[in-house]
Amino acid sequence: MTSRSLPSWALMLLLSSTACSLDCHFQRRGIWEIVQHLENLGGKFPLRCLKDRSNFRFLQVAKIDQLPEETAFPAIGEMLRQVFNTFSLNVSQSLWNESRLERLLSGLYQQTEKTGICLEQDSGQEDHSSSQREGTRLAIKNYFQGIRDYLQGQKYSHCAWEVIRVEIRRCFLFIEQLTRRHRDQEIGHLHN
């Protein structure tokens, strides 16, 4: 009886690890939920805040089609951490509903944790691109430092937060494109 159940047990282990791996690469639902929380924070962009817009030069170094697969997931993880850190700053002048902000932060935290677990799973693989990954991470940190400097310079005003909310949506568009590209690559690997 043990010899008959061992192959089915091994098959279940294989399927569960494959499912876990796929779960890491198909995080689009969690990202979509965060974007919805971000949208629900403030509604439409206030026209009076147009004068406060700024060009943050969104991650010039990170072109989606040039970012290697082994760099994409760490980049997503770093972006999620930085978004969480940014929205954990002084938001008291934002006029946003506090429970909506808490839902956004909770979603960001959960997605960051999931991404961290996935990164730990991938860390056992040989990595020849650690310098490129570190360069991407530093570019992301510098980009978000610019966002935090802008907020501080604007004294965390409501309009500054609205400008940042729009800018962060661009980050999630980038994350969505990265996850879609890598999901398509994973599907291609499964069919080969």
**21-52 pLDDT per residue, tens:** 445 654 667 888 888 888 888 888 888 988 88
Average pLDDT estimate for 58-83: 74
Beta-carbon count within 10 A of 78 CB: 21
Sign, CA dihedral 142-112-109-168, equals: positive
Rounded to 10 deg, the angle between the 69-87 and 98-122 helix axes is 150
With bands split at pLDDT 50, 70 and 90, how would you rate the model's confidence at 65? low
Total length of the chain: 192
**3-class SS string, 93-106:** HHCCCHHHHHHHHH
Q: What is the pLDDT of residues 2-22, one digit of tens each?
A: 444 444 433 333 333 333 444
The conformation of residue 45, written as its DSSP 8-state character, comes to: P
- The answer for 163, left when phi > 0, alpha when psi is -120 to 50, beta otherwise, is alpha
What tens digit of pLDDT does each residue of 108-158 get?
999 988 888 877 766 655 455 677 778 888 888 999 999 999 999 999 999
* Reported confidence tier of residue 1, pLDDT bands at 50, 70, 90: very low
| pTM for the model | 0.76
How many Å apart are CA 176 and CA 186, to the nearest integer?
15
Could you give the CA distance from residue 29 to residue 152 in angstroms, rounded to a whole number? 32
Rounded CA gap, 116 and 156, in Å? 30
Q: Which residue's entry shows tokens 């291609």?
A: 188
Q: What is the widest separation between alpha-carbon atoms in the chain?
A: 74
Q: Which CATH number fits domain 28-191: 3.40.50.2300, 3.30.420.250, 1.20.1250.10, 3.40.50.300?
A: 1.20.1250.10
**How far is CA 86 from each of CA 1, 10, 121, 142, rounded to the nearest angstrom?**
56, 44, 27, 13
Better-scored residue on pLDDT, 51 or 55: 51
